[in-house]
Amino acid sequence: MTFDLSNYLTERRRLIEAELDRLLPAADEPPDTIHKSMRYSVLAPGKRLRPTLTLAAAETVGGSAETVLPTACALECIHVFSLIHDDLPCMDDDDYRRGLLTNHKVYGEAMALLAGDALMVFAFELIASNAAAAPPDRVLETIRLVARATGTCGMVGGQVVDMLSEGLEIDAETLRTMHSHKTGALLTVSILAGALLAGGAPEQCDALRSYGEHVGLAFQIADDILDVTGDEELIGKPVGSDVKQDKATYVKLFGLAESHARAQEEAARGIACLDGFGARADALRAIARYVVERRA
């Protein structure tokens, strides 16, 4: 029997979106403008890949998805904070995201800036409040790892390198480092957080961390490919924006065919890390394949 990923992703997305809706401050709670702005971007349609990975990782080590759900939502909030700030005029200056106007196009730059700030803080509040999930030292360890994956050693650091590399020729090693920081770090910690909070043993956490690193890289290569070959309507933003901004991408460096082969290879390596988990890791295996085969 093959794993029905489509059903799985839909069910998980609904669970996560219902929880995000429940956890976020209400749209009429003062100061309501910023709460509306936060909800606008968080509740916009999305794949919810990071929180889905958190839930899947918890189940892969034999824990329950439900207890790590608030932390999963926190990781989505961090992802959305980065999207809001990335879209600002002083960064990528994008008007559309997930098929909708970007946050600052609706709420103005100042509110978008503050909504991003507030979502990041809210994420740490959620993880710290998710104390029922695990012993407090595991929750603290999760906060440390998430903070490192978000800051200059992770996502923010990757954005800096990305920004500074615009228009420059960079080599494969630099590109890999940039991607592993910009996208890989948060994807990997989303998996690790689920495993850690659900009581995963050190060797299980190590295996899932390696899985995350490979799948994170596969995800970013696939993103680079979609920026060239993707369907604008499915992606919800104009294709070719990386080319327009002369960004360093896998496609620019290796061409489409080689990029596709590399993405497949990283996904396969990720799947190989799951050997010790048996059928419990079926969701993570299916997600690794989906990451490189998705059309948006």
User: Of 239, 62, 163, which is closest to residue 155 (Cα–Cα)?
Assistant: 163
For residues 30 and 15, is the Cβ–Cβ distance under 8 A? no
* Residue 173 in contact with a copy of itself, rule: CB under 8 A: no
Task: Return the H-helix or E-strand segment holding 96.
Answer: strand 96-97
Interface stretch with a copy of itself, choices 64-72, 86-94, 230-238, 258-266 (CB under 8 A): 86-94
Burial environment of residue 183 by CB neighbours within 10 A (0 to 12, 13 to 18, 19 or more) = buried
Residue 296 Cβ vs a copy of itself, minimum distance, rounded to whole Å: 27
Contacts of 148 (CB under 8 A, 6+ apart): 154, 185, 189
Q: Could you say which of 33, 210, 241, 264 contacts a copy of itself (CB under 8 A)?
A: 33
3-state secondary structure of 151: coil
Under a CB-based contact definition with an 8 Å cutoff, are residues 191 and 53 in contact? yes
Element (H, E) at 100: strand 100-101
Q: Which of 44, 128, 239, 268 is in the footprint of a copy of itself by CB under 8 A? A: 128
Q: Is residue 168 involved in binding a copy of itself (CB under 8 A)?
A: no
Shortest distance, position 67 Cβ to a copy of itself, whole Å = 16
To the nearest whole angstrom, how small is the minimum distance from the Cβ of residue 229 to a copy of itself?
28
Token pair in block for residue 87: 């879209």
* 111 counts as binding a copy of itself under rule CB under 8 A: yes
Binding window for a copy of itself (CB under 8 A); candidates: 7-15, 151-159, 203-211, 264-272: 151-159
Smallest distance from a copy of itself to CB 140, Å: 5
Tokens of 233: 């309507």
List contacts with a copy of itself (CB under 8 A): 25, 30-31, 33-35, 38, 81, 85, 88-91, 108-111, 113-114, 116-118, 120-122, 124-125, 128-129, 131, 135-137, 139-140, 143-144, 147-148, 150-152, 156-157, 159-161, 163-164
